[in-house]
Structure 1
Amino acid sequence: MNDLQNQVKGLIGGREKTYAEQLEEEVCSVFPSLTYTQRLTGCLCCMAVGFLLSFGSFLRFSKLLHGDATPFAVCFTVGSVIALMGTCFLSGPHSQVKKMCKKTRAGASAMYILSIIATLGLAFYGGDIKGQAGLLVICVFIQYVSIIWYTLSYIPYARDMVKSCCKRKCCGEEMC
């Protein structure tokens, strides 16, 4: 849209589109619109491929224990990201990022992204770090926990139920 069109819109009561709206419009014009069935199929396929890659990374666990962390970390992390990206088929990438930044999900989203960065950082640059394998296992565990916590935020009262169950397990039923 050129400047003249934006000025005319401003004069007749319309508003200018934000950068994000313009970008979304341009990206959407490149990709065809999908039916609900196609979106669901795309989501499920991405999730299946992602989970297969993530779980398949454990076939490389022996390499991790012998000091070659890169194949395990990259395979696991790529699988994890592909699985999450599958949700973009359902709501769109812009909407997905907005949902990830909501107050209820921001902590889990940040923990997930930071654990991905830490996993890849340890794999590629942490060769001289003592206990690299243990640190990578911790980062992978944090990825799992944070993505589960993020996913539970979409189910009403799911987080409250998990907190309640954990509280009972940690404190004992008679103490809490």
Structure 2
Amino acid sequence: MDSIKSLLGDKQPEKEPSVWDDLNNQCSLTFTQRVIGFGICAGLGLLFAFLSFIFILSPTSFAFLFTVGDILMVLATGFIVGPVKQFKNMMEPHRLICAIVFIASMALTLTAVFLGWSFIIVIFFIILQICALLYYTFSYIPYGRQCLRGLCSGVASV
């Protein structure tokens, strides 16, 4: 049918590739490369998260290592689903606010660490980041956010 349409001159205008299509084409990896990238990022993320708990008595060291671990874990999932789909998943309406809070808390934590802000502020951003990470993670589980809210309200009422 397309060949007949082209003979008659009835061509549909070609869709101009978007920035997302360009990025997706630039980042195309084989399954093996995706698994290797995921393994390396997830392994390093877990290592940094584990190391952060060794430095739990030093809030700045803990905050830095924990935040780097979180960033690497987000990058690891990006290897599995791809950067465009990862970004689109983060921008879904039911996940948008927790994704923004999670990214902002990581940025604020690193800012507080590098600018030498008060330990109390660093600890506040660590707590905010952990809460945002939990809420963001539970947003991927069906009814996970509702369960987390119920759990938190049950604990708060005690």
Q: 2: CA distance between counterparts of 1:72 and 1:160? A: 30
Contact residue 23 and residue 84 of structure 2 kept, 8 A: no
Mark the runs of 5 or more structure 1 residues left unpaired by the alignment: 1-10
Aligned equivalent of 1:116: 106
Does residue 34 in structure 1 map to residue 24 in structure 2? no
TM-score (norm 1): 0.72
Does residue 148 in structure 1 map to residue 134 in structure 2? yes
Amino acid at match of 2:38: C
Instruction: Write out aligned runs for 1:1-176 (5 A).
Output: 12-13=11-12, 14-28=14-28, 32-35=29-32, 39-40=34-35, 42-64=37-59, 69=60, 71-125=61-115, 127=116, 129=117, 132-171=118-157
Question: Deviations for 1:85-106, whole angstroms, at most 9, x for unmatched residues?
Answer: 1111221011101111111111
Amino acid at match of 1:107: I
Residues 15 and 85 (structure 1), Cα distance of their counterparts in 2 relative to 1, 3 Å cut: same
Question: Deviations for 1:34-64, whole angstroms, at most 9, x for unmatched residues?
Answer: 15xx645643542232122023123334444
RMSD: 2.3
1:26 positional shift = 2.5
Mark the runs of 5 or more structure 2 residues left unpaired by the alignment: 1-9
1:133 positional shift = 1.5
State how many pairs are aligned: 148
TM-score (norm 2): 0.80
Residues 40 and 159 (structure 1), Cα distance of their counterparts in 2 relative to 1, 3 Å cut: farther
Contact residue 90 and residue 96 of structure 2 kept, 8 A: yes
SS, match of residue 98 in structure 2: helix
